[in-house]
Amino acid sequence: MNSFTCHAKALRRAVAFAAQPVKRRNTFPVLDMVRITASGSLVEVSGTDLDIECCATAAVIEATGKIDTIIEPKFLDGLLRWAEGEVTISREKDLITIKVDDVVAVVRELCPADDFPVMIAPVHHNATISEARLHKALTSTIDCISTNQTRYYLNGVFLHDKDGLRAVATDGRRMAIYDAGEPWPFDEMIIPRKMAAILHRAMKPGSNGTIHVKYSPDPKNGDVTLAPKQPANRVKFFGDDWTITGKTINGAFPDYTRAIPQPSQNITAVISAAALRRFHPKTRCSRAIQIDPTTGKMTYRKHDGTEVSMPVQAKGEKPVAFNIGYLKSFVNKAGTIRLETASADGPARVLTDDPALLQILMPIRINHA
């Protein structure tokens, strides 16, 4: 009988990380599972939805032989959630025994571990980047990712080289551009929303660590086969005890530079997170907040006639209105933002204390009739 023992908390963290891409109630039951492989001093847990594969490792205290099996992550998490000590997983034929503290669970392996799909990872084009800078780049742009499936190429964060790594995301109404200042030797790539969110959660803000990246771009004139040994449009990120492998979005990101307005101070406003917290829109129909430099007030009006206004530091000759939800997403991260625009119907530059970050926001037209 083969078995391994490790700390329950360490295994729980590994299972939670690996299970992130796993979808429940799949057509193929194997995709509802995570794969657990243990031999020697490490146990590796992996999960996939065929587009993203997440793997995490935990240290093994003691092992006998090799364990390679698949288990439902929700079931395993329920056993490990309140455990404080060690967990032992053993296998005999197709029966898996899990001992956690004074709990013993026996489950039958639904299908062999060899049936678990493995994503072919890129093997070339290596780079190393600061974990703190990459985390900041995703923090600054991830909220602006589009959810419109028609323009699928906007459903992710665009990473490319612009005197170093630049991250861009836009949904057509707002855009965030962050210059990380880190060497980026790769071609352009678009990281899908789900993968970007998993990667963002995996990293620590302000960390002194590094993230290793491997990327396989789409060969322009390569030979196409039904089963390529090295598929294109794959990227892999390595952390200390985790890896994320996934498909990038196969499409061309639009020329976003054409949407960046020139600096102008015809209309300006300084808005804080504390000020916007006073406004609580209850419906999606009332989402605009008007900034009037001539009166020095910003006002939120509902369709039922309710009106809330408060002083604002602003300059200009015409009022301008913006989506209050978008403004809140900007100020919640920065604390205070400065809006600058050339006209009431033109895009505004949204500036913060971070000179590496530029945000663009389109205005809203309000009907007072």
- Strands of the 288-292 sheet, one edge to the other: 307-311, 297-301, 288-292, 320-323
Q: How many domains does the chain have?
A: 3
- 294 and 312 share one domain: yes
Handedness of CA 210, 201, 150, 218 (dihedral sign): positive
SS3 13: helix
- 74 and 193 share one domain: no
The last residue of one of the domains, among 234, 257, 280, is 257
Cα(341)–Cα(328) distance, rounded to whole angstroms? 18
DSSP assignments along 298-350, one per residue: EEEE-TTS-EEEEE-EEE-SS-EEEEHHHHHHHHHHHSEEEEEESSTTS-EEE
Predicted confidence at residue 27, as pLDDT, reads 73
In-domain check, residue 319: yes
Cα(179)–Cα(181) distance, rounded to whole angstroms? 6
- Euclidean distance between the first and final Cα of the chain, in Å? 78
In-domain check, residue 369: no
Cα(146)–Cα(162) distance, rounded to whole angstroms? 22
SS3 51: coil
Predicted confidence at residue 369, as pLDDT, reads 42
Cα(242)–Cα(234) distance, rounded to whole angstroms? 17
Read off the pTM: 0.91
- In a structure prediction context, what are the per-residue pLDDT tens digits for the chain, which is 369 residues long? 899 999 999 999 999 999 999 987 777 888 899 999 998 899 999 999 999 999 999 999 999 999 999 999 999 999 999 888 999 999 998 899 999 988 999 999 888 888 899 888 887 778 999 999 999 999 999 999 999 988 999 999 999 999 999 999 999 999 999 999 999 998 899 999 999 999 999 999 999 999 999 998 765 544 555 555 566 789 999 999 999 999 999 989 999 999 999 999 999 999 999 898 888 765 555 688 999 999 999 998 877 778 889 999 999 999 999 999 999 999 999 999 999 999 999 999 999 999 999 999 999 987 654
In-domain check, residue 139: yes
Domain enclosing residue 136, as ranges: 126-257
Predicted confidence at residue 25, as pLDDT, reads 72
- 102 and 163 share one domain: no
Distances 290 to 184, 277, 320, 322, 338 between C-alpha atoms, Å: 40, 15, 6, 7, 15
Cα(44)–Cα(242) distance, rounded to whole angstroms? 9
- 194 and 284 share one domain: no
What is the chain's length?
369
Beta strands in 217-280, from DSSP E residues, in sequence order: 234-238, 242-247, 267-272
Contact 180, 134 (CB under 8 A): yes
Predicted confidence at residue 60, as pLDDT, reads 95
Cα(27)–Cα(78) distance, rounded to whole angstroms? 24
- 11 and 47 share one domain: yes
Predicted confidence at residue 221, as pLDDT, reads 43
